[in-house]
């Protein structure tokens, strides 16, 4: 007796994009009211001038829903055809329940397959690979992929290694069948030997034990403190300089294209110096548009690439139908990249 299988669509593409940027704009000068640094130092080392932080009633849940809703509208795909929702995030505030089913319900799609995907700043690339393979395998026909983060709830505002880098935001794409293939096989990998370079400074179990041990004590004398993200910047930079050029070259090879074919470069918005170095090492032409959303958005982890893509399309720096090279990288340490055909410019943008 044989078990029936299923065949999906060979050609898959991003059909629409949407994003949400929190309303609060935070300048380097504002960050430096607490952080021992300067606007000039921050910009020279990262390329960041401003970033967005959630405020008021904004939350990871609300910005995920807003970005997803815009992606659906811009794609023209009826929400009833979405078979799965992937929420790429590392900052959903609870381990249980996870966020994707809640976001799907808020979008009026309760009942579909919905799961969170945690792979740090490479999360969108991992999600894009998983979604594309799901459609090719016939598991679903359309996927809504949302990359969303509220990084600022987990940073120490006095930490010179992280406080100025991160921002909040959400970006989403609708992925589905297309006449020509618009998403290459994913090139991805990880380096657990260097995982400690980006880490939460205390695990949940130890944090709960600390809180229990300090019950009844004066919090002014013995504060519980908070969990925070820590990063060894030079260690990450060295890893990126060695690992990422190989990943980019491999992405071109598996896509069957050359560097001369690439029309747009959209790397993760972690550090403008790293991005310039990658572009140079890969030998991309100087006049090829490269995402620079980091300047006013900061590093939004799994939301970084869809936000940068949406900004380029909305401002005309890139056009729908162009061939783009994507690469996300960060905590894990992990990376994921693809060659893609850009979706149409959003009729409803976040700018």
From the CB of residue 347, how many other CB atoms can be counted at a distance below 10 Å? 12
Is 121 marked active-site? yes
DSSP reduced 3-state for 251: helix
Q: Find out whether 81 and 57 touch, Cβ atoms under 8 Å.
A: no
Catalytic residue status for 268? yes
Q: How far is residue 105's CA from residue 206's CA, in Å, rounded to a whole number? A: 33
The two tokens of residue 341 are 């055909």
Active site (annotated) includes residue 32: no
- Strand partners for 82: 142
Angle of CA points 210, 226, 62, to nearest 5°: 125
3-class DSSP state for residue 111? coil
C-alpha 351/C-alpha 348 separation (Å) is 9
Catalytic residue among 74, 268, 271, 275: 268
Nearest C-alpha neighbor of 90 from the set 124, 128, 130, 134: 124
Catalytic residue among 28, 74, 121, 275: 121
**Beta strands in the chain, from DSSP E residues, in sequence order:** 12-20, 24-27, 50-53, 82-88, 113-117, 142-150, 168-177, 187-190, 198-200, 229-231, 264-267, 323-330, 334-341
Beta bridge partners of 20: 170
Catalytic-role residue among 74, 271, 275, 299: 299
Q: 83 near 112, Cβ under 8 Å?
A: yes
Q: How many CA atoms lie within 13 A of 51 on its CB side?
A: 33
Please, is 171 exposed, middle or buried when counting C-beta atoms within 10 Å of its C-beta (0-12, 13-18, 19+)? buried
Q: Tell me the catalytic residues.
A: 121, 268, 299
């Amino acid at each position: 007796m044989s078990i029936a299988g299923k065949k999906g669509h060979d050609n898959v593409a991003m059909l629409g994009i949407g994003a949400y940027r929190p309303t609060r704009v935070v300048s380097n000068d504002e960050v430096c009211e607490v952080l021992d640094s300067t606007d000039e130092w921050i910009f020279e080392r990262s390329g960041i001038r401003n970033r967005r932080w959630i405020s008021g009633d904004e939350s990871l849940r609300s910005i995920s829903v807003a970005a997803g809703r815009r992606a659906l509208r811009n794609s023209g795909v009826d929400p009833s055809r979405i078979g799965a929702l992937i929420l790429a995030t590392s900052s959903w505030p609870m381990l249980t329940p996870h966020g994707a089913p809640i976001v799907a319900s808020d979008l009026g799609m309760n009942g579909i397959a919905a799961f969170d995907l945690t792979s740090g700043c490479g999360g969108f690339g991992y999600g894009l690979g998983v979604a594309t393979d799901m459609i090719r395998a016939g598991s679903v026909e359309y996927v809504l992929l949302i990359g969303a983060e509220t990084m600022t709830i987990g940073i120490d505002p006095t930490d010179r290694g992280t406080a100025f880098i991160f921002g909040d935001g959400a970006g989403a794409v609708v992925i589905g069948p297309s006449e020509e293939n618009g998403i290459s096989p994913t090139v991805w990998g990880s380096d657990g030997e260097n995982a400690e370079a980006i880490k939460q400074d205390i695990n949940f179990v130890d944090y709960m034990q600390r809180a229990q041990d300090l019950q009844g004590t004066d919090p002014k004398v013995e504060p519980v403190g908070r969990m925070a993200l820590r990063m060894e910047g030079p260690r990450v930079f060295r890893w990126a300089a060695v690992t990422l050029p190989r990943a980019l070259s491999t992405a071109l090879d598996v896509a069957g294209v050359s560097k001369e074919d690439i029309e747009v470069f959209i790397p993760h918005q972690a550090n403008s110096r790293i991005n310039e170095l990658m572009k140079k090492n890969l030998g991309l032409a100087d006049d090829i548009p490269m995402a620079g959303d980091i300047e006013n958005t900061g590093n939004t982890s799994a939301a970084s690439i869809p936000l940068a893509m949406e900004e380029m399309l909305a401002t005309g720096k890139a056009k729908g139908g162009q061939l783009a090279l994507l690469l996300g990288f960060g905590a894990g340490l992990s990376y994921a990249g693809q060659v893609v055909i850009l979706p149409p410019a959003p009729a409803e943008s976040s700018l």
